Homo-oligomer: A and B are copies of this chain.
Amino acid sequence: MRPSGRKTDMMRAVSFERNVSKHAEGSCLVKFGDTHVLCTASLEERVPPWLRNGGKGWVTAEYGMLPRSTGDRMRREASAGKQGGRTLEIQRLIGRSLRAVVDLEALGERQITVDCDVIQADGGTRTASITGAWIALYDCLKWMEQRSMIKLDRVLKDHVAAISCGVFAGQAVIDLDYLEDSAAETDANFVMTGSGGIVEIQGTAEGAPFSEAQLLELMALAKAGIADLVAKQKETVAGPQQ
């Protein structure tokens, strides 16, 4: 039995609120249950030094948690003077995930930075970030298309979404919340495209090692969950920008 009473293959309530920022070219407040992440996509007419004058663009991400997004207040990274290893790891993952569905040449020599700031955390902040970042990126590209800068469907090749699965109390479950995450024996994050391709898989044994059979069980859950998330993304961008 899961602490939340959910069935093993049941995700939390997922919602996307678009256009939550007056300033950003694209933005989305994504909620996976009590995990809330504000994603903003910012367009800049410059690329990192190693890409200059190559005609290619760049998509990158930054991740942060508000100090009291968590049960105990965490030290503010700006005051600590550096981003921790977990933060750097997550923002590199978000960036790679988004770039997997973007044609950087079609984007042209510009950079889009997607900031994922966790307003409230209850497990799964990185998967919610990736899933919401795609919406913010979509809206940023749409903003560009409206200004005849790009063709949206040439730049954005597919959807990308992510979900965590894990072995909790001996059972494979999807979309772990904080209580489950802290006690899971195995924890895996899956990033997949709309067409079902795998972009990234990260599985970690928290306690005993896991088997290939268990991994496949988690992947089956993830596939179904990500298909749902992609359907919700489609429905969201088909609707009005609010």
Chain A residues packing against B (C-beta within 8 Å): 21-24, 27, 34, 38, 40, 42, 44, 62, 64, 66-71, 73, 76-89, 91-92, 96, 100, 113, 115, 117, 119-120, 122, 188, 192-193, 195-205, 208-212, 215-216, 219
Contact = CB atoms under 8 A, between A and B. Distances in A.
A89 B87 CA distance: 10
20 contacts: A23-B68, A23-B70, A23-B71, A24-B68, A40-B68, A42-B68, A62-B67, A67-B115, A73-B113, A76-B78, A76-B115, A77-B78, A197-B205, A197-B209, A198-B205, A198-B210, A198-B211, A198-B215, A200-B202, A201-B201
B62 A76 contact: yes
A66 B22 contact: no
Contact of A66 (B115, B197, B215): B115
Contacts of A88: 84-85, 88-89
A85 B81 contact: no
A22 B72 CA distance: 11
A76 B64 contact: yes
Contacts of A202: 200-203
B204 A208 contact: no
Contacts of A192: 209
* Most-contacted residue by chain B among A23, A84, A196, A202 (CB, 10 A): A23
A82 B77 CA distance: 9
Contacts of A201: 188, 201-203, 215
A60 to B, nearest CB: 11
B78 A82 contact: yes
A71 to B, nearest CB: 5
A86 to B, nearest CB: 8
